[in-house]
Amino acid sequence: MPWTTPPGSGATVYIWNGYSLAERDRRWNAVRANAAKAGFDCILVPLGNGVDGRYMTQLRCSAMVLPSDGRAPIVIADRSSHNDWVPKPWQTGREWAEPMGEALLDLGMERARIGVVGLKGGMVTHCNSIDGVVNHTALKQVMSRLPDARFEDATDIVGHVRFVKSAEEITFVRESANIASAGLEELIKLAKPEADAGVLYAGVLARMLELRSEYFPLTLTIDKLGAERPRRYSNPPLGRRLEANALITNEINAIRGAQFTQVCQPILLGKVPDLWKPVIELHKEIYAAGLEMIKAGTTFGALKNFVDGAGANVA
């Protein structure tokens, strides 16, 4: 698989960058089309928005100005980073505001309507970051270089392109889901009373890394069944041993081809209480019915109303 070593002496982190040039062109053209339709002269993916930067360039750390009129973008990359998608980016070290401003000026955006990706939380991306993800100090300096330009949020311009997967991406979504499932299988195998929870955590991650997932930490919640405030771990739970009747909830995350998937499966180290059994059966029914609803034409609102209604009927 194609991997790029980031710059720097003794670097050990590798960045996967194996999508084809056709995939690059699909993404860039789709973003251009969205930007033009929304009336933007260009899209700026600034410092701080590493997720969208990687989506558009496959580089570990980059910024990008993409004109909506079909001209080639200017990509600013960290030190000597480059790849097949962006063989000759502008290079920078610690300074990002200056080259981002220069890129906008070079492309004639002095009086343009500029869409900033990641300025606010979007409908389908950066949903949990209501204040955005950009480096606002750097962006403020860029804006001072173009006082007659308009800078507006354009998170959904890229977000809606990311939301619709290509055939190349779907291949890696499936690989990622398979790796996450393998991590769950490893968790089930290792989760026993008296097992060291830190060793369990490491074992699950090791299994997924062996299958070539990128690193992403697990989240485990481990405590006695019925605990009012069960303890949640996003780092290895050092010094903790699993107990009988412990309930383990989890978020097992895998990344292949920059595609993130997650599996969640509660694990109880004991017998299911009789009181829980009808609730579990109801969950199964709602889950199966929900899967049937997830198809083209069904809105999220309809799915939400169905699940809320099922819960209300039980109450």
Averaged pLDDT of the chain: 92
Q: Do the Cβ atoms of 63 and 100 come closer than 8 Å?
A: yes
- The average pLDDT across 81-98 equals 92
First and final C-alpha spacing in the chain? 52
Nearest-10 crossing angle of helices 300-314, 277-293: 160
pLDDT (mean) for 295-311: 88
Residue 231 host element (H or E): strand 231-233
pTM of the model: 0.85
Cα distances (angstroms) measured from residue 68 to each of 33, 43, 65, 277: 7, 7, 10, 56
DSSP letter (8 states) at residue 313:
H
CB atoms within 10 A of CB 250: 23
For residue 271, is pLDDT > 70?
yes
Output the furthest CA–CA distance in the chain (Å, rounded): 69
Decide: 215 and 286 in contact? Cβ < 8 Å: no
Instruction: Answer yes or no: is pLDDT of 194 > 70.
Output: yes
Please compute Rg for the chain using Cα positions. 23
CB 159 within 8 A of CB 126: yes
Is residue 311 over pLDDT 80?
no
What is residue 309's predicted lDDT score, i.e. its pLDDT?
A: 86
Query: Is residue 150 scored above 50 in pLDDT?
Result: yes
Residue 106's H or E segment, with its range, is helix 97-106
Q: What percent of the chain has pLDDT over 90?
A: 83
What lies within 8 Å, CB to CB, of 163 at 6+ separation is 124, 125
Q: What is the pLDDT of residue 12?
A: 40
Sort 122 into a burial class: Cβ within 10 Å, 0-12 / 13-18 / 19+.
buried
pLDDT at residue 1 greater than cutoff 70: no
Query: At residue 72, what is the residue type?
Result: A
Instruction: Give residue 11's pLDDT band: very low, low, confident or very high (50, 70, 90).
Output: very low
What are the distances in angstroms from CA 101 to CA 36, 44, 57, 69, 206?
21, 10, 19, 19, 43
What one-character-per-residue DSSP string does 175-202 give? Answer: HHHHHHHHHHHHHHHH--TT-BHHHHHH
State yes or no: pLDDT of 315 exceeds 70: no
